[in-house]
Amino acid sequence: MDIMNTAEYRSSVVDETETFGAYIRARREELGLSVRGLAGKLGITPAYLSDIENGNSPAPKKKTPKRILENLCSELIEGDDTKRFYDLAAMSWEDQCLELSHYLKQHANARLALRVARQHGFTEEEWKTIARNIEQMSRKE
């Protein structure tokens, strides 16, 4: 499977103008939930959820993103859009992607590769090429 041609890859690419809060609000509204209703399901205050939706607070960390995903995304989001959820959350933290942190902790060479790429200013096109190469390598195994 060439990830550059799959819905999975296309849906995981995040428009940098899209925000985590706007994404959560859109999903909440699609479900017909109020801020108070979703906040109750998530175990957070309506004011905090409102701050997240309005971009005044970053995406929560730890267990809350998983609860948000379970309450919003399980009903509305196909597996592909889970990546978009985590990418938007990470962008709000200005931090690494949540689902990649464990992998990066265990693989020193992955961290090294990212540092080298940053040092050399890799572009999106160069990263696409790298992703294609990884896909090709995994097919050979």
Is 102 among the domain residues? no
Q: Is the pLDDT of residue 4 over 60?
A: no
Question: Are 81 and 22 in a shared domain?
Answer: yes
Residues 101-116 have a mean pLDDT of 85
Residues 128, 129, 135: CA angle, nearest 5 degrees: 90
Helix segments in 6-100, DSSP class H:
7-12, 20-31, 35-42, 46-53, 63-68, 74-76, 79-93
Kindly report, residue by residue over 25-76, the tens digit of the pLDDT: 988 898 898 999 988 888 889 998 999 999 888 887 766 666 676 666 555 5
Kindly report, residue by residue over 72-95, the tens digit of the pLDDT: 655 555 555 777 777 787 777 765
Question: Are 24 and 85 in a shared domain?
Answer: yes
Question: Are 71 and 27 in a shared domain?
Answer: yes
Provide the residue type at 89 as one letter: A
The count of domains in the chain is: 2
Question: Are 111 and 91 in a shared domain?
Answer: no
Parent domain of 118: 107-141
CATH code of 29's domain? 1.10.260.40
Question: Are 79 and 125 in a shared domain?
Answer: no
| Contact by Cβ (8 Å): 6, 16 | no
The pLDDT confidence band at residue 11, using thresholds 50, 70 and 90, is very low
Question: Are 91 and 111 in a shared domain?
Answer: no
Is 101 among the domain residues? no
Is 17 among the domain residues? yes
User: How much is the pLDDT for 2?
Assistant: 40
Is 16 among the domain residues? yes
Is 48 among the domain residues? yes
